[in-house]
Structure 1
Amino acid sequence: MEYLHIEHGGRTIRGVLHLPEGAEAAPAVALCHGFGGNRAEFGYSFVRLAERLAANGTAAYRFDFAGCGDSDGDFADLTVSDQVAQAVAVLDGLAGHPAVDGERLSLMGMSLGGLTAQLAAAQRPVASLALWAPAAGAVAMSEEGAKRRADAIAERGYDDFGGLPVLQSFVDDAKGIDAFADAAAYTGPVLLAVGTEDFVLKDDLLERYQDLYGDRLDLQIFDAVGHGFETVPARERLVEITTAFLTRTA
């Protein structure tokens, strides 16, 4: 494992690169964490995933988005478009690493990181795409949800989402993004994992993912867990199937 930092928009994006032992030009996967998270992700799942990928011959880069973890920036400045631009910069940075095969890059993301990954995959040649409970609803909110957020911002200047602020700049940026049309240029294989109790990726959005990716989609349903795959068996299965998918398709 080595530290790898990438410059983007006057900020340093900080992360760690897990490399297969003895590999000269390994395929690589960039791991995009969720809203308010960091490069370890819930239950250290990104650490475990990266270690298993490296053990199976695929490099994995865990990084903190700007304003998160150890990276530069202010979390209040978060927008989806900025995160997508950061993910693209990460792919470009990985492509130039001497131990990475720049022609074999993949993306993986959790929640808002999943939305980020699916949008970034449409902007660069990506071998494969793995999504854990992608948060398309962040840019495709229901009328009720959008009104609640607008009212909160009007009252306080921000929407309090899990103890972190969502500002008007996030809302304005989201209006210009179509989670599905803007992701359509990606034509490779997709793994999508979701729990049956997920409050973020509901059935209507899941159907849109199925329509978008068609027979390229490997859909994995996890019974009786929510957005964070909150049981030991669920998280073990999640890491296992994602490792197998990315090792096979990267």
Structure 2
Amino acid sequence: MFGLKAFGLGFTCIVAVTIASFASAAETKIVFNVDGQKVIGTLSTIDSNPKAPVVVMFHGFGGTRDELAIKDTKEGVFSRSARLFAESGYASLRIDFRGSGDSDGKWADTTFSGQIKDGIAAIDWLKASDKVDSSRISILGWSQGGLVGAHVAMARPEVKSVTLWAPVVTPLYTYAGLLGADSVAKGLTSPPDTEITSKLPWGADTTLKASFFQQMPTTSTIAAIAHYPGPLQVIVGSKDTTVTPQPASGQVLLDYHDGEERLDVFDTDHVFSAFTGPQMIDDHMVPATLEWLKKFNP
């Protein structure tokens, strides 16, 4: 099963010109290759410390590296978090998985194993970089990116710490709610290249191949995190209706993980109240994550 495998790969990288900057950091577009396709990322580095510790950030289902737009701001959840991390001395790398955002590939070809492979490649790119301290890498994954983050941590257990925001724990259960039980049943019983269109709870349609669905019963976030010996933080919202039930879904990862760990539960939803403004991100999500980082990846 994918929860018990490590994925090997080779990659090359290209670093482009600086594309943005703010008070304490500069943002640079980076590119690396996985299976002949380009993965695009944004590397946020600290002007005063070229050897800063670094957080690699994995976005959620249907998301991109900047993530969901936050009401009353010009930032996404991840782009804002990266800025706040930088202000506290942490570099970061946020990537678009293949088939998402600016990276190569088609959304319909998305699979858990493909995203895990991209995530491992991101870690390996950082380990080869001279822009950050390659010995001080942490992982942050949100929702489906949390599932990915757990598997990447299993494959690269030398990472200093892992933080999972509202991670998908039981894919069959979560995606039956998100994509519909009929779509999941069709995906499980159709040839892998069959395209299946599902209506999301907010009314949008999404099309994925049956191969995405067929990895649901064989991809275990629990099994993956059980193989990661380092510090684990899980942050969930008590009002989350996407990954449920909470906080039980978050707690089960701690139950199977052996090592330093913590569960934080906030009075918020699956998107950390981004639709109402930045307060939850600014006052709870990022500070709690930074507290964990400063303890285990100072």
Q: Normalising by structure 1, what TM-score?
A: 0.90
161, 183, 195: which is aligned to 1:149?
Answer: 183
2:65 and 2:109 map into 1 onto residues whose CA distance is 19
The yes-or-no answer on 1:226 pairing with 2:269 is yes
Change (3 A) 1:115 1:143: closer
CA distance in 1, matches of 2:185, 2:253: 29
> For each residue in 1:24-73, what CA deviation from the matched residue of structure 2 results, as whole angstroms up to 9, or x when unmatched?
32221110000000111122121121112222222101111111111111
Q: Does 1:209 find its partner at 2:209?
A: no
CA gap of 1:161–1:95, structure 2 versus 1, over 3 A, is farther
- Correspondence for 2:237: 195
* Secondary structure in structure 2 of the residue aligned to 1:49: helix
Q: CA RMSD in A?
A: 2.3
* Separation in structure 2 between the aligned mates of residue 3 and residue 79 of structure 1, nearest angstrom: 24
In the TM superposition, what is the alpha-carbon distance from 1:238 to its structure 2 partner? 1.1
- Quick one: which of 104, 108, 126 aligns to 2:140? 108
- Structure-2 residue corresponding to 1:239: 286
Contact 2:53-2:132 at 8 Å conserved across structures: yes
The size of the alignment, in residue pairs, is 248
For 2:170, what is the secondary structure of its paired residue? helix
Change (3 A) 1:102 1:70: same
Give the match for residue 4 of structure 1: 30
Aligned equivalent of 1:46, options 78, 87, 95: 78
Moved more, 190-199 or 30-39: 190-199
**Residue type of the alignment partner of 2:249:** L
Q: Quick one: distance in 2 between partners of 1:68 and 1:157?
A: 17
Match of 2:227 in 1: 185
Counterpart position of 1:86: 118
- Aligned CA distance change for structure 1 residues 194 and 3 (closer, same or farther; 3 Å): same
CA deviation string 1:151-186 (max 9, x = no partner) = 454799415153322331012222322221122221
Structure 2 regions of 5+ residues with no counterpart?
Answer: 1-26, 71-75
Contact 1:58 1:247 (8 Å CA) reproduced? no
Q: Which residue of 2 aligns with 1:127?
A: 160
